[in-house]
Chains A and B, each alone.
Chain A
């Protein structure tokens, strides 16, 4: 099962559509409530990251009876030092973004805590791909 969602640069107001749909689908599959919550929180974080930093992108969701895999692909500045970005509190968000209540530097650490597998590929000046997996069993 596959769905896709577009991410529009700086459109924080519409963040969360993908995570809502993912939540509903996982509920229908009778997935454990805590697993649903973990995935929804991770996807929402990653989506907000892409909205904040990139020039738009796409969310690809793939679900089968064993796992859910969400890939968020953006074209943007890329992450220079992934290791540093994974540290709690590290942030490169602009003042404008922080004013809206985002950019606390908890995005990537929070995602890592919530998913079973996390894979980040990034190229400076090209974009970032974040792949998150939550296993059902």
Chain B
């Protein structure tokens, strides 16, 4: 586990981490261990899903983002805001108003990410109907899911649809549009407001791509604060200078659960959200248990992107606001007040031509070793060790489960003596002193946790 595969946006602030182990016990890929009283991440197991961020009680898990000031490295500064960003604000602040505020806090242009969702779904549908041999085809929209499949379900990597995300389509569109208007390419900076860590990781090390289509990523909570402050500081009414007219009613809901599925129009498809649900389902897909499946929309977060770790507000409320906006857009489309044909469709051919990503490769975290005979020796060792452990998954050894400890021992990342049951047993047989077992616990959980608090009180 020394080799590092991915850039990770999720990091642990050692100053804040007090080694409570909640993250370790909630990580769906068992990527976290406690060592020296701090959480540490096995980087090639982490898929940036953000479960650790959600459960951390001390704010020690954080999401590294680009400095906002870096937008000023560019003369033309474009912000790509996903529709759920507008759903952060109550109905009295409409999308056009938020667009206007974005251009007042430093950006020269604002565009909604889902502008390209319709073109994206056309390309995806074409790919699905011409790749019967890899059914069910799996959406690559959620980067945490792409990574999950790479590390935990390597047999399914060929089922991933190798098409860029709507954010890349929209970034390509706006860059080309500005260049066509005469803006020098080096002056253009495109910044994406992200609802999650996985999107940052995907931007910093895109899977199957050399370079990302955006120049920087800003966290949604940071941007929410900036926009909200601007709205609150303004005396009385904030003037709307722009009309938000990038998206159609069916595209605005793209990042909500079922949004992509509805647009792709496949015969038999499922939309599944929340990482554990997805893992359960992929187990079945991998065994060919579910027949005649065409397409899977899989999302790591409950409710899709409204459940992202960097969103502000309740995911059901955000979901409802976006749905409400879609309904209002649909009414306006029906009455002819707004057209379903948006400016971006003029550039459809260009976007389609640049829509594919390179080959997505498996990066199994399950394998114990590249070399099968070494892997076999390790597996034999795991099977010897496991029955000796108490099977209560107490995590006192600093691993999330007895099985994980057995794996760590076989891979020389832990010792059988890390188990408190083994320690008691050895003490009982006078093969270990109390001091020795205290030292082991201090090594795992840090010095402070064994301070003599009874005497100190």
Please give the residue numbers on chain A whose beta carbons come within 8 Å of chain B beta carbons, in ascending order: 1, 16, 19-20, 23-25, 27-31, 33-34, 36-37, 40-41, 44, 63-65, 136-137
Contacts and interface: CB of A to CB of B under 8 A. Distances in A.
Q: How large is the interface on B (under 10, 10 to 19, 20 to 34, 35 or more residues)?
A: 20 to 34
Contact of A28 (B154, B283, B373, B375): B375
B375 A30 contact: yes
A24 B376 contact: no
Contacts of B367: 27-30
Contacts, number: 61
Of B287, B373, B380, most buried by chain A (CB within 10 Å of CB) is B287
Mostly, the A contact residues are: helix
A101 to B, nearest CB: 9
Interface of B: 154-155, 157, 283, 286-289, 362, 364, 366-373, 375-376, 378-380, 382-383
B380 A1 contact: yes
Given A23-B286, A28-B367, A41-B288, A136 B155 contact: no
Contacts of A63: 376
Given A16-B289, A30-B369, A41-B287, A36 B376 contact: no
B150 to A, nearest CB: 11
A65 B368 CA distance: 13
Nearest to B367: A30
A20 B362 contact: no
A29 B379 contact: yes
A27 B371 CA distance: 12
Nearest to B383: A1
A25 B372 contact: no
5 contacts: A20-B283, A28-B375, A41-B288, A65-B376, A136-B372
Nearest to B378: A28
B289 A65 contact: no
A8 B109 CA distance: 66
B362 to A, nearest CB: 6
Contacts of B376: 1, 29, 63-65
A-B pairs, top 4 by smallest CB distance, nearest first, are A33-B155, A30-B367, A27-B366, A65-B376
Contacts of A28: 366-368, 375, 378-379, 382
Most buried by A among B362, B367, B378: B367
Contacts of A65: 372-373, 376
Nearest to A35: B155
B287 A29 contact: no
A28 B386 CA distance: 15
